[in-house]
Amino acid sequence: MNKKLRVVSERSDSPRAQDTAAAKPNYWRSLAELDQTPEFRDAVEREFAEPLQELPPDSPGRRRFMQVMGASFSMAGLAGCRWHEDKILPMTRRPDGVIPGTTSRYATAMELNGVALGLHATSYDGRPIKVDGNPLHPESLGASSTYHQGSVLGVYDPDRSDAVSQKSGTGREISNFEAFDKASKDQLKKLRANRGEGLRVVSERTSSPTMLALKDRWLAAFPLSKWVTFESLGTNGRAAGTALAFGKPHRVHYSFAEAKVILSLDADFVAPSFPGGLANARGLTKGRTPDHEEMNRLYVIESAFSSTGATSDHRLALRAEQLKAVAVFLDNAISAKASALPEQGAGQPKPAAEFLNDAKVQKFLGAVAKDLLANVGKSIVVAGLHQPAEVHALVERINVLLGNTGRTVFYTEDSADAVQSDTAALKALTEEMAAGKVETLFVLGGNPAYDAPSDVAFGAALEKVAFSVRLGLYEDETSQAATWHVPAAHYLESWGDARAYDGTVSIVQPLIAPIFGGRSALELTARLLGEEPKGLELVRAQHKGLLGDDRRFRKAVHDGIIEGSAFDRVSPKLTPIAPIKLSEREVSGAVVNGQLEVRFVPCPKVYDGRYANNAWLQELPESFSKLSWDNGAFFSVATAKALGFTDGDVLTLTVGGKTVDIPCIVAPGSAEGSVKVALGYGRTHAGRVGGKVGTDVTPVGGNANLIRTSDAPFFTGGLNVSSNGPGKRLANTQDLYAMDQIGLDGIAERLPELVREAPYEKFKEEPHFAKHMVHQPHELNLWVDPVSYEGHKWGMAIDLNKCIGCSACVTACQAENNIPVVGQVNVAMGREMLWLRVDRYYRGDPNEPELRFQPLPCQQCENAPCEQVCPVGATMHSHEGLNDMVYNRCIGTRYCSNNCPYKVRRFNYFNYNVDVIGITPYTPTEDPKMKLKAMVFNPEVTVRSRGVMEKCTFCVQRIQNAKIPAKNAHRAIEDGEIKTACQETCPTDAIVFGDLNDKKSRVASLQKLERAYQLLGEFNNRPRVQYLARITNPNPELA
């Protein structure tokens, strides 16, 4: 095997470029490592990220650490007593079929930005402890995302509002539902008389048929009132664009599995924030299994790395605003060749964009157009939702011209309201409020006082409304300004209904009664209208037509979907699109500071800030920067260098005189001159995790809404950036385990052996390439194998071709296995506890890198290095090949972690569950809010305490809980019966677990594939996890 590394990048700007150019790695973990910056070398010298000492008790880090989930040290244990008396409290009447101490699953659905995803919620003795996708739901197919996985923690958040409150002077005082009901009744009585004059409602986007019907009845009862829908991340580009192309707004649906060539124009169509994103991810990766069928080819033109971009075969980084010209260019190229129908008209006038003349861009677009035309009816072009209407109009025109309609692209009609801009509507409302024209305002969910663009001073205007009611899960920024705050019920606490993007209706079923007595938006609205206020009855009445009899309703609740409720697919006719004008910015190449583009994206963790108080999601490392507990401004390598910024510098971002301070992240792969910032940070009234002013919990991250404007809420030019120098250490998990020069050389040599890949052509010629990449001599063991592996032999296969790096598996693992949250300071010190990590490697030139993800659970080695060094037998080999971790034996030597070549073992430096979360299930406490937090624990998994090592167990509790009933029933375990938590949630089916001794099992057949390889197999560890090498499908023209 040739061990010499190919030199891909020769950048003269890096400090050691001259002498080390030849040693530049092909793959690299981070820029700091690649460039060997002084900071990085310093970190290497120190061995540990921070000196090993306890934080001083009053350091801000220490304080945050204590408060992450509201620590309480008042829990004196009763450990001294001889008999700790446990009580058993049986139900007085046990319902039929309920077995105490077992789990059952119920179908429900969660709505986000007007799109629902069907879920299965797991209930243990009446409390939800986990959610997963509903396999019957067309847009879940069993998968779920970080948002869904994290949502279950939100139910038990002690910071949720637990009482009605009323404004009193400058503060707020606790009130109750009776007082609120009386006040609202009196107010609405007045309004009925004047037909709703001065009455306004702001609601989140919702697809709920029951809610929409209530809205109609509301508007009928108060004809002079207005109902405004506002969602901070609500877009209207696609609806307006399809209206331009087809005359009417349409929704667009895709069948990626059928497509051969796919082009994304800044669309992260596999993201959970994209409607139907999880099903798109499944479809896209289904077409990327090179073993048996032809692979699809994915081109992505985007402004910053996304999951879609990371999966792509060819990627071009352009600013978001440049894509309009790209769309026009492609429309030109395609309409000239495609057999256009007469009414479609000719293409657009040729755009005079200077960057399109760039040889590289021209070559790229030329090859894309050619490839699309060669795959008529088998291609898909997708535009990002944040793109303007013109781009969407052209994209749909291209799809129609390419004959994709009805084959890979489908349309359903959208409501006429969809073309309206949410921010414009809110701005108009805010102006009315500020002018004193609004006397009564109901804010149903949402948090516009925080997430409205900066030119919409909703919070200040809300103060002027005489009678305002805010329904919310938290007493947050918006509630502070409202005269009444009413606690809302979580989706797992209320009845409701919601539609998937394709229209499929799901019934939202509660798993638990509202813990804080909250009301759902449905119930509150119905009560205000004087209707039956029970959610279940409202939903039943709404679906009487379709689900008239009880049996059918129960079936719909049980299945989680109403069969046949999807919208009808239509084949709209193209209408001519007027020539599209391109502004100067949209056609210009480079931009300078002061004119930079800033792009506001939904945070993959906290979305628009609604999950800011969710510690699981805050701690999750972001897919690309691997940053937890913060947001950053993502700069391309060239832009950052030109401006003189490095990672971690605190930058002041200025747009139109408004500023926000956000740390700099140098993100290889970003478009030059384009800066990506995630929304959802800098919450001032989130809670003890996300930040609360007036306490010492400072907000996490910077609020990018402060520099957003309502006319360009998703990207805009005119950004000026200045640096304030280095800031605090970011909780970044990517440079952890930095090593000295020998180690680095070793890493550089080994990285291509970790993530093995080949182009499709090479794979066809040499299918075993991955296996032969490293010479694996036949090695003898030092001792006899402890077990023979008769019976079950658990193993896992992870397909690198399918992993999109979404990290849903990481949060699913955290929820399943009671993994503690350690807080920002501890993450920065390398003490993160997540059992499963998704490694991110860049490849090639830092200016145009490719990106590779590699999920890394415990490899469950057969010849495990960890087992051999444990002095107390706390990690032992099971007969089924698991490396069992026995917490009650562990004395915390950490030898096992030291000896683990994969670094998948995690050590409890503190009793995180008590110190950070405040409780374990076994801690006696009388504090009801502490008790509440303990309810999210999975009772099937031991909660670990200080001083013990822990690691991925292959979800041994799931194995045992499947094995025992199977044995009881004298039957074998079927393949697929046991799914690990990470596998179950994976949108792309990249993780497959099963029994290797069952020759027909999926995992056995996957591990037998030619491209399967063992990670570091040459150590003779015999890992039970095998990776399937990544196969790319490059276009020979662009190679």
Residues of this chain that bind other proteins (CB under 8 A)? 82-94, 99-102, 876, 878-880, 882, 884-888, 921-922, 940-943, 953, 956-957, 959-960, 964-965, 967-968
Of residues 516 and 887, the one with the C-beta less far from other proteins: 887
Residue closer to other proteins by CB (options 921, 947) is 921
Bridge pairing between strands 757-759 and 1030-1032: parallel
The nearest distance, CB 665 to other proteins, in angstroms, is 38
Q: How far is the CB of 537 from other proteins (least distance, A)?
A: 24
Q: Report, in Å, the least distance between residue 888 CB and other proteins.
A: 5
Distance in Å, CB of 921 to other proteins, minimum: 7
Alpha-carbon separation of residue 28 from 401, 436, 695, 847, 849 (angstroms): 42, 58, 41, 13, 10
Cβ distance to other proteins smaller for residue 341 or 972: 972
Angle between helices 808-816 and 146-155 (to 10 degrees): 30
According to DSSP, residue 666 is labeled: E
One-letter-per-residue 3-state SS of 941-999: CCCCCCCCEECCCCCHHHHHHHHHHHHHCCCCCCCCCCCCHHHHHCCCCCEEEEECCCC
Nearest alpha carbon to residue 393 among 381, 403, 404: 381
Q: Which is nearer to other proteins, 105 or 226 (CB)?
A: 105
Closest distance of CB 84 from other proteins, Å: 8
Query: Encoding tokens for residue 650?
Result: 């605190």
* Nearer residue to other proteins within complex by CB, 2 or 92: 92
The minimum distance between CB 90 and other proteins, in angstroms, equals 4
CB of 926 to other proteins, least distance (A): 16
Q: How far is the CB of 877 from other proteins (least distance, A)?
A: 8
CB of 705 or CB of 875, closer to other proteins: 875
Quick one: which of 163, 229, 222, 220 has its CA closest to 197? 222
Burial category of 960 from C-beta neighbours within 10 Å (exposed 0-12, middle 13-18, buried 19 and up): exposed
User: CB count, 10 Å around CB of 527?
Assistant: 17
- Cβ atoms of 774 and 939 within 8 Å: the answer is no
Nearer to other proteins, 17 or 886 (CB): 886
How far is the C-alpha of 933 from the C-alpha of 127, rounded, in Å? Answer: 12
Query: Smallest distance from the beta carbon of 954 to other proteins, in angstroms?
Result: 9
CA distance 102 to 789: 30
Q: Who's near 271: CB < 8 A, 6+ residues apart?
A: 277, 306, 307, 308, 602, 604, 806
- C-alpha closest to that of 726 among 125, 110, 187, 42: 42
**Is the Cβ–Cβ distance between 753 and 773 less than 8 Å?**
yes
CB closer to other proteins out of 569 and 946: 946
- Residue nearer to other proteins on the CB measure, 720 or 878: 878
Which has the closest alpha carbon to 773: 1020, 1039, 1016?
A: 1016
Between 737 and 922, CB nearer to other proteins: 922
User: How far, rounded to the nearest angstrom, does the alpha carbon of residue 813 sit from its chain's CA centroid?
Assistant: 14
CB of 943 to other proteins, least distance (A): 8
How crowded is residue 441: how many other Cβ atoms within 10 Å of its Cβ?
A: 25
Task: Please list, residue by residue across 129-156, b when 16 or more beta carbons sit within 10 angstroms of its beta carbon and e when fewer do.
Answer: bbbbbbebbbbbbbbbbbbbbbbbbbbb
Q: How far is the CB of 874 from other proteins (least distance, A)?
A: 9
Nearer to other proteins (CB atom), residue 893 or residue 957 = 957
C-alpha pair distances (Å), 811 with each of 522, 618, 731, 957: 30, 11, 17, 17
Q: Which is nearer to other proteins, 112 or 914 (CB)?
A: 914
Strand bridging mode 906-907 / 949-950: antiparallel
CB of 794 to other proteins, least distance (A): 11
